[in-house]
Amino acid sequence: MQLKPSSSRSLKPMRQVVPVPRFPYLAVAALFKLLIDVALKRLRVLSDPQKRAVYDQYGEEGLKDMPPAGSGGPSFGKGSSGQNGFNPRNAEDIFAEFFGNSPFGFGSFGPGRSGRFHSDGGKLGGFSSTDNRKPPPVESKLPCSLEELYTGSTRRMKISRTVVNALGRQVQESEILTIDVKPGWKTGTKITFSDKGNELPNQLPADLVFVIDEKPHDLYKRDGNDLIVYQRVSLADALGGTTINLVTLDGRYLSLPVTDIINPGYELVVAREGMPIAKEPGNRGDLKIKFEVKFPTKLTPEQRDELKQTLWG
């Protein structure tokens, strides 16, 4: 194709904004297609003297006012050749020739083939569902003390994960995630961070899931929304009464008088001193105190007689 030198007014640049795709390495394909579109657009103008004259005088806006193909103007429809032997091919067909065996894993782009590149409203289109597969979530345990699950806490977790950079290579990336542990959460509660797991080529990033794992406590044991504590008392305290002193999980002091006789199986229930109920803000379970009576291993004859007299008169 022979083209005459341009007039004194050089062709004005045709600008187009390239949308940033979800995966950086797809920008290569988007840029390539854009360059083809721009090149074909320029060739159409240069190969048509009428369009070229209008463009030189009025710019790209002038071309928009020209009559469409079939209404007296030149036509470059599918299968026809333009003036000066120029055949304006579809940019997507040219794109397919270059990326039919794409090193980026795009697959074929011919009609009816999976993985076809497409454009929608000037924006970068998507690919077939095989290019948007999401791996299973990556789960990691988050050990929490009973105190944290009682009062709530803020945890900052530094993670390292594999991501795909703009060149399509897998690299390591570090990030700090913030987790707000809510009062009343239980073992097995899951906190999901979307797309924060590892990323593989041609796949969506996996989700990262932290799973609450309650650590054992030295004094308290959790039973659903209730707290259980075991207290060992002497036989004298079991019969004569005693006072139980406890420090709660949030640092308060409880002094609980016991006036009943503590027999095997006796349980003291303190209402609303258990764990917070996550789904019922402001409500708590109960604190249950279970007793173990410590019996003496030896008694003198005098002690036995005195005990009998006290118990049975």
Predicted confidence at residue 26, as pLDDT, reads: 61
Predicted confidence at residue 122, as pLDDT, reads: 41
Could you tell me if residue 111 is inside a domain? Answer: yes
Could you tell me if residue 2 is inside a domain? Answer: no
Does 52 share its domain with 126? Answer: yes
Predicted confidence at residue 133, as pLDDT, reads: 87
Give tens-digit pLDDT for 223-257: 999 999 999 999 999 999 999 999 999 999 999 99
Chain-centroid distance of CA 213 in Å reads 20
Predicted confidence at residue 279, as pLDDT, reads: 93
CA distances, 37 to each of 31, 90, 91 (Å): 10, 8, 6
The residue among 212, 220, 236 whose CA lies nearest residue 307 is: 236
Could you tell me if residue 44 is inside a domain? Answer: yes
Sheet containing strand 190-193, edge to edge, reads 138-144, 208-214, 190-193
Could you tell me if residue 118 is inside a domain? Answer: yes
Could you tell me if residue 300 is inside a domain? Answer: yes
The mean pLDDT values, 10 residues at a time, for the chain of 313 residues are 48 50 60 73 72 71 59 43 49 54 43 40 43 88 98 96 90 97 98 94 94 98 98 94 97 96 94 97 97 92 86 73
Q: Return the SS3 of 66.
A: coil
Predicted confidence at residue 22, as pLDDT, reads: 53
Does 119 share its domain with 69? Answer: yes
Predicted confidence at residue 107, as pLDDT, reads: 42
Domain-terminating residue out of 159, 190, 214: 214
* CA-CA-CA-CA torsion sign (119, 121, 123, 126): negative
Could you tell me if residue 15 is inside a domain? Answer: no
Does 274 share its domain with 184? Answer: no
Give me the half-sphere count of Cα atoms (radius 13 Å) on the Cβ side of residue 249: 26
Predicted confidence at residue 28, as pLDDT, reads: 66
Could you tell me if residue 1 is inside a domain? Answer: no
CB atoms within 10 A of CB 104: 15
Does 199 share its domain with 229? Answer: no
Judge residue 273's burial from the number of C-beta atoms within 10 Å of its C-beta, 0-12 exposed, 13-18 middle, 19 or more buried: buried
Could you tell me if residue 12 is inside a domain? Answer: no
Does 199 share its domain with 226? Answer: no
Predicted confidence at residue 53, as pLDDT, reads: 75
- What pairing do the DSSP bridges indicate for beta strands 226-234 and 287-294? parallel
User: Residue 155 belongs to a domain with what CATH number?
Assistant: 2.60.260.20
Does 207 share its domain with 257? Answer: no
Q: Which helix or strand (DSSP H or E) is residue 91 part of?
A: helix 91-99
| Residue 183, domain extent | 138-214
Domain count, the chain: 3
Give the C-alpha separation, 270 to 238, whole Å.
18
Bin 272: left if φ > 0, else alpha if -120 < ψ < 50, else beta: left
Does 127 share its domain with 112? Answer: yes
Predicted confidence at residue 82, as pLDDT, reads: 44
Predicted confidence at residue 91, as pLDDT, reads: 52
Domain-terminating residue out of 81, 111, 131: 131
Give me the half-sphere count of Cα atoms (radius 13 Å) on the Cβ side of residue 2: 1
Does 175 share its domain with 248? Answer: no
pTM above 0.85, yes or no: no
